[in-house]
C-alpha cells in the first residue's frame, strides 16, 4: 500500500534565487517532514495547487512574494483562501503597500507578512506558529 503524499509547503516568487534560498532554509529546518514546491508566478502556483488537490496532497503553507508580474501576492492569497481556507498564508515582500497587506489579512486570513530580505529564523518560526494553528480536522 502506498503511503499518502507528504504535506506540502509551497513558495511563490518570480525570482528563482529567492525560491532556491527558501527551499534550502525550509529543508534545513523541516528536513523530510514536508514536500517543497516552488512556483515562479501566481498562475503557476494556482495550477500546481489544482494538480496537488487532484492527487489528494495537502498544501499546509504558502509563502508568497507580493510584487510579481500579473497577479500580485495579495490577490493570489485571496484566490487561494477561497478554495483552501485552512492553508496558512505568509507574504514575503520587499515592497507591499499597506492596503495590499490589509486586504490579505481581511480576505485571505494572512498569518504573517515578512520583509525581504528575511531572517531565516523568523521565517521558520512564523511557519511553525502557523502550523500550530492547524488542527487535524482542518486539513480534510
**Which pLDDT tens digit goes with each residue over 93-105?**
888 789 999 999 9
The single-letter DSSP state of residue 85 is: T
The single-letter DSSP state of residue 91 is: E
For the question of whether the overall pTM of this predicted structure is more than 0.85, the answer is yes
Residue ranges of E strands in 3-94: 8-12, 35-39, 59-65, 88-93
Is a pLDDT exceeding 80 seen at residue 49?
Answer: yes
d(Cα 17, Cα 13) in Å, to the nearest integer?
Answer: 9
Taken in order of first residue, the domains within the chain and their CATH numbers are 8-132 (3.40.50.2300)
Amino acid at each position: 500500500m502506498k503511503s499518502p503524499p507528504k504535506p506540502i509547503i509551497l513558495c511563490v516568487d518570480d525570482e528563482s534565487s529567492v525560491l532556491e534560498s527558501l527551499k534550502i532554509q525550509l529543508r534545513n529546518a523541516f528536513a523530510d517532514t514536508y514536500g517543497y514546491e516552488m512556483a515562479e508566478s501566481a498562475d503557476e502556483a494556482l495550477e500546481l495547487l489544482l494538480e496537488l488537490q487532484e492527487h489528494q496532497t495537502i498544501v499546509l503553507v504558502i509563502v508568497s512574494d507580493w510584487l510579481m508580474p500579473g497577479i500580485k501576492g495579495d490577490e493570489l492569497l485571496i484566490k487561494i483562501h477561497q478554495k483552501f481556507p485552512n492553508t496558512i498564508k505568509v507574504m514575503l515582500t520587499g515592497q507591499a503597500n499597506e492596503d495590499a497587506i490589509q486586504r490579505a489579512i481581511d480576505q485571505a486570513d494572512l498569518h504573517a507578512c515578512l520583509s525581504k530580505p528575511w531572517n531565516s529564523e523568523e521565517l521558520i518560526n512564523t511557519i511553525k506558529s502557523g502550523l500550530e494553528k492547524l488542527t487535524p480536522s482542518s486539513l480534510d
